[in-house]
Structure 1
Amino acid sequence: MIIYKNQITNEELEQKLNEQNVVILDVRETEEYALEHIPGSVLIPLGQLEERCNELSKDSEIYIICRSGGRSNEACHILQANGFTQVFNVLPGMINWHGAIDSDF
């Protein structure tokens, strides 16, 4: 696996949550997202990202998160290959997220 060049920590992401034109993209599965997710984040499971990347704006900064960084790393490469330039992998991901969370339960 090739590590994506643009990385950001969970703590750095927390500081960006209130900025405009920032998208938090969660690429975990629907069930994982339902248990806990960052408020305002967008869910597109990794397996659907290639076909659904047109739902995202290439003008936005996109911060991609998963459980521990593997799927989000892959998602960064997918978006980059589709012309997105402001893409960041959030590490270590939800496994160590201490910020606000929502749940669908």
Structure 2
Amino acid sequence: MAIFRTPKPILRDAHDKGSMAEDPVEGMQEPEYVRQKMVVPSFAYLKQALTVADEGLVLEIVMMAGCGLRNGEAQAVNINNLVADDVYRVHEQIHSNPAGRQT
């Protein structure tokens, strides 16, 4: 994880230059990131999801499946980023929304 890679060389350098008596990173194990398996939904699943979703979620699903947007980019879709009848520029994304989707 990046959070451990940034301070580790700084602390090791401080130890090597004599600023610290003991090596603060000796024996430290970085956490191992295990990527979860990605699942691409089938066309039948997408069709079923589109029939039960509200209009906001339908827009997100269509932008993700049809245009290749990631979920944060699809959630940030708005009329201001349309630059032509058939061109949409991705300038924004929503990073998280722990309180739930807002409509």
Q: TM-score, normalised by structure 2?
A: 0.21
Higher relative contact order (CA 8 A, sep 6+): 1
From the two aligned structures, give the one with the greater strand fraction: 1
- Greater helix share, 1 or 2? 2
- Point out the structure with max Rg over C-alpha: 2
Q: Which TM-score applies when normalising by structure 1? A: 0.21
